[in-house]
Amino acid sequence: MPREKQYNEAEVIERAMVLFWKNGYKSTSLRMLSKEMGINQFSINASFGNKKNLFLESLKLYKSKLQQVLKKFEDSSNGKDSIKNFFYAFAAFSNQDNNKRGCLMVNTMSEFGLEIDEQVGAVISNYGEKLRGLFKKNLEFNTAIDSVTLNKQINFLVLAIGGLGLAGKIQNNTVIEDYIEMTFKNL
């Protein structure tokens, strides 16, 4: 008969997510996870299989938390203003409690580059495609622009949100605000 878990799985995934968000995947050891999560390494492996699976669960949790920010963006219909509001909400989300962690997905792409794991890449790619669709919807809302210009603007915004995700780790609020304002001045 299997032993009953002496911990709340959702809570330990939350703690793991924060540690991965702060340190990155490669710099986060099982020992660090065990200490932060308050469970032993055997329990981590028994519940999640390995560090990678725990990381995937952490990314999924992060994505679900970010979905709360995205939901407001999805429901908006103010064109470029909606995109700009999303940028500000995303910046606030990336700097919760003044912890300057940036975006876990952007951090992960930076950490792995082209060597990203297929499963991890799929979680991030799905998020990226959703953003592209929302950018497209809002860019088309106010103006009629040709498809070439539209695609260039979408690509610009994808890179800009990624830059914002990284900048959130090191820049102060004034620099972040200047970045967002200049992004939309140039759009």
Asked if residue 129 belongs to a domain, the reply is yes
| List of long-range contacts for 24-32, beta carbons under 8 Å, 24+ apart | 24/107, 24/108, 24/111, 25/51, 25/55, 25/108, 25/111, 25/112, 26/111
Asked if residue 100 belongs to a domain, the reply is yes
Asked if residue 180 belongs to a domain, the reply is yes
Asked if residue 143 belongs to a domain, the reply is yes
- CA geometry: angle 103, 104, 108, nearest 5 deg: 115
d(CA 13, CA 51): 11
Number of domains forming the structure of the chain: 1
Backbone φ and ψ of 101, nearest 5°:
-100, -10
Q: Which two tokens stand for residue 151?
A: 């695609």
Segment of 7-16, 54-63, 109-118, 121-130 carrying the highest mean pLDDT:
54-63
Asked if residue 2 belongs to a domain, the reply is no
Asked if residue 4 belongs to a domain, the reply is no
pLDDT tens for 136-156 read: 999 988 677 899 999 999 999
The CATH number of whichever domain residue 130 belongs to comes to 1.10.357.10
> Domain of 73?
9-185
Asked if residue 88 belongs to a domain, the reply is yes
Asked if residue 1 belongs to a domain, the reply is no
pLDDT tens for 1-21 read: 455 667 778 899 999 999 999
- The Cβ of residue 1 has, within 10 Å, a number of other Cβ atoms equal to 3
This prediction's pTM: 0.85
